[in-house]
A and B are shown apart, each in its own frame.
Chain A
C-alpha cells in the first residue's frame, strides 16, 4: 500500500520533471533534424523562464508571461540563426555563447528591474501561474488508491503545459514524417544541396526549424518559472537544456524514443530526490550524485555504440553555402 503510493507519486513527479525536458528535447529535435546543432537549448529556456516570470509578475497574467517567453525563445533562436545560417558561424559556439550570455543577462535584468538580487518576485497571486487543471472528481478519487490515485495524480493533477508537451510528441512526429514541410526539414539536415537544387530555399527552412526550437524552448522556460515554480531564480534551468540534448540523442533524433529518453532521465532525477540515504536491496545506499550522473553516462554509452547506435543527421553542424 505504502509502496504503491510512493510509486504513484514518484511517477507523477517524473511527469512533472519530464515536461520541460521533453519540450526542450523536441525543440532541439526540430533544429538538429534541419542540420543546426542546438547547444542553445539551455540559454533559450533560461531566457524564456525569466521573461515569463517577469511579465507575469508585472501584468499578473501567466498567459502574457507565456507569450513573452515564446517571443524571447524565438528572438534568441533568431540570433543563433543569424550567426549560424545567415553568416555560417560555428553552431556549437553560437549556441554556447547565447547560453552564457543569457545565464548572465537574466539575473542582471532581474536585479535592475526588481531589485531582488537576481530573482523575480514570487508569483503568488491567482492567474500568475499555470496551476493544476481541476479534474472532475479528483479529490473523491484520491480516496480509493486504485484506480483513483492513478486518476488523480498521474492522469490528472497537472497543469496545461504538461498536457501540451505530451500532445506535442505525436504532433511533432506527424509534422516530421507526414507533412511536406517535415520532409523538407529532414532532407535539409541530410543533404541541403539537394533541397536547394529542388528549388526549396535552404536557409528559410532552417530558419523555420530554429524558430520552432525557440518557440518550444519558450514554452519550456515558461513552464519552469510559471508552472513548476513560482518565479524565476538564478540558473533555474540547471543544465536541463543539456540533459534535453542528451535525451534527444538518446532518442536518436526521433520524437517517440525521445519521449522515452525524457521519461527515463526524469525518472532518475525524481528517484534521486527520493533516494537520499535510502538503502536499496543488493547495492545498499547509492550516492545521489551517481544517480544524477546516470543520464549522461547512458548517453555516452549510446554514442559509443555500446547500447544501440545513434546516427545523427548527415549534415548536422555543417554551415550551408548555396554555391560550392
Chain B
C-alpha cells in the first residue's frame, strides 16, 4: 500500500494479552502492533475474540495477563477514562448513547471541558458544532438521540471520540448497521482521519472491508493471532483461509429445487417495532414447499421485525400471513407452531433458550404442550431425557448430558441445540434467522446441509441472513430488503453480488415485488 516507512514506534502495541471466561479462552497471548497514521484491520470470525480484545484495550475488561503500549509507553487501562486519557477512543458495535438525551447532552457527557452545564452550554455547543463541521460529521445537536437513524447515531459516536482528542480510534463492526453507500461514506471518513495523522483500528469480519480501507491487518482465530499481513500483498481467499484455518467451501452441494405448493405466504404485511416505528412496509412474498427463499439485506432493514411477525411474536399492523393455506393474523406463536411452523430466531442465545434450565428442558421449549412429553397431566421426565439423548447423538452436542444446565454448554453447542430442536420438531415451514451467526466453521457446513436436507424433504425454508455468501450458497430464490420493503427478487442463477448490493442500497430494479 502507501509505502510509508514504518514508524519506529507503533501507536498501539499489545503484548501477550490473555483472557479467560471460565472454560472459554477468549484471548490467547495476543500480540500485535498498529503503526501510527494507518488504518489497521482486525479481522476474524464471530467469536474469534476480537470484541473481548477491544474491550480490554478500551479498559472495559481487565486482561488476565499481558501489557499494552501506546506510543511506546506502557499504559494501565483498567477503565475507559484511562483509555481516553491515553488517546484511545472507541465506537462500539452497540452504540453507547443515552437515548433520552439530546445529541449535545450525549456529547457533553464525558466532555472534560464542560465543567458546568448551565454556564458552559453555549461555549460547548460552539465547540462541538465547529468540530462537527471540520470533520464533516453533520449531526443535529438538539435532536433526541433515540429518535435518530442509526447512521446518524454512529456519527455522534465518532464525533464523541474525536472530541475527546482520540489519536487512536477503534471501530467495532461499524458497518453492520450501514447500507453499502453509508459504509462507503464511512470509509472516506476513515481515510480522511488517516490523512490527519490519526490511527484507526477497524474490527470486522468482512473481508471486503479489510481489502477496501486498511493498510495492514491482523487475523485472529479462536482467541489467537494467526497472521499479520500487508493488505496490498494479500487476497480475499488468503484472508478467508487464515480466518477459518482452512480453505473455505463457499458452495453448498445441492441439487435443483422442486418447488411445490405454497406453504408460507405474506400479503401486504406491515410491522411496527415497540416504539411504533414502521419497520416492515407492505411486504408480499411466498415460500413454496421444497425451496429455500433467502432474504438478504443490511442488518436493521426490517428483517428482524418480519421474522418476528411471521413467527407470531409480534403482531403485524396490517396484512395477512398464511401458513399452509391457513390465515393467522394475530400474534400467537403457539398457534403458529400448531400449524407446523418452526423458528430458529436470529438472537437465539437470548430468546431461544433458558440458560438456567437443563438441556433436556430446553429441548421442549415451544413444544411443551405436545402430548409425547406428558403423561397423565404431568411432564414425563423420562421422555424428556430420551428426546434429548437422541438429539445430542444426532447433532453431536457436547457434552452429551441431558441434565446439564444449558449455560454450561459452549455458545456453539447452544446454537446447535436450538437448531436441533426446531428441525426435529418436524416443521412444514422453517423460519431461520442468521443460522450461522456465532457458529464455528465446522458447524456451519453441518447446518447448511441440514437446511438443504429439509428443503429436499419438501419443506419450506425462509432464510434471513446478512451474510451474502450464505444467501448465495443456500437460497433458491433471493429477496432483498431495504428500508422495510422488498426491493427486488432474483432467482439464484441470476443473482450476483453486484446486483444484490444495488438492491440492498435501496436501488429498485424492474423486478421489484
Contact = CB atoms under 8 A, between A and B. Distances in A.
Interface of A: 178-180, 182-184, 187, 190-191, 193-201, 314, 322-323
A197 B98 contact: no
A197 B118 contact: no
Given A179-B118, A180-B117, A194 B80 contact: no
B109 A190 contact: no
Contacts of A196: 60, 79-80, 96
B116 interface: yes
Contacts of A199: 79-81, 83-85, 110, 164
B387 to A, nearest CB: 33
Contact of B108 (A183, A191, A194): A183
Contacts of B117: 178-180, 182-183
Contacts, number: 76
Contacts of A178: 117-118
B96 A197 contact: yes
Given A197-B90, A323-B60, A323-B61, A180 B114 contact: yes
Interface in B62-115: 79-81, 83-85, 90, 92, 95-101, 105-106, 108-110, 114-115
A200 B81 contact: yes
Given A183-B117, A322-B61, A197 B99 contact: no
Contacts of A193: 96
A13 B83 CA distance: 55
A112 B128 CA distance: 62
A148 B450 CA distance: 89
B61 A183 contact: no
Interface of B: 55, 58, 60-61, 79-81, 83-85, 90, 92, 95-101, 105-106, 108-110, 114-118, 160, 164
Given A178-B118, A322-B60, A198 B99 contact: no
A187 B99 CA distance: 9
Given A180-B108, A180-B114, A322-B61, A187 B81 contact: no
A262 to B, nearest CB: 25
Nearest to B61: A323
Given A180-B116, A199-B110, A323-B61, A190 B81 contact: no
Contact of B109 (A179, A183, A201): A183
Interface of A is mostly: helix
A190 B100 contact: yes
Given A183-B105, A183-B109, A190-B98, A198 B118 contact: no
A196 B82 CA distance: 11
Most buried by B among A183, A187, A199: A199
A187 B115 contact: no
A196 B96 CA distance: 9
A195 B84 CA distance: 13
Contact of A323 (B55, B95, B99): B55
A191 B96 contact: yes
- Shortest Cβ-Cβ A-B pairs, 9 listed: A198-B110, A199-B81, A197-B96, A323-B61, A178-B118, A194-B96, A199-B84, A198-B109, A199-B110
Indicate the member of B80, B92, B106, B164 with the most A CB atoms within 10 Å. Answer: B80
Contact of A187 (B61, B80, B90, B101): B101
A174 B160 CA distance: 26
A189 B10 CA distance: 39
Given A199-B164, A201-B79, A314-B100, A194 B106 contact: yes
A195 B85 CA distance: 15
A187 B164 contact: no
A191 B99 contact: yes
Residue with the greatest number of chain B CB neighbours at <10 A, chosen from A184, A197, A200: A197
A197 B116 contact: no
A201 B81 contact: yes
A223 B81 CA distance: 41
A20 to B, nearest CB: 30
Nearest to A182: B117
A322 B159 CA distance: 23
15 contacts: A179-B116, A180-B116, A180-B117, A184-B109, A190-B99, A194-B97, A195-B109, A196-B60, A197-B92, A197-B110, A199-B110, A322-B60, A322-B79, A323-B55, A323-B60
A180 B109 CA distance: 8
A178 B83 CA distance: 28
Given A180-B115, A187-B101, A191-B97, A200 B109 contact: yes
Nearest to B95: A194
A277 B109 CA distance: 56
A322 B99 CA distance: 19
Contacts of A190: 98-101
Contacts of B96: 191, 193-194, 196-198
A194 B98 contact: yes
A183 B60 CA distance: 22
Given A198-B109, A199-B80, 8 more contacts: A179-B116, A183-B117, A190-B100, A191-B98, A191-B99, A193-B96, A197-B60, A200-B81
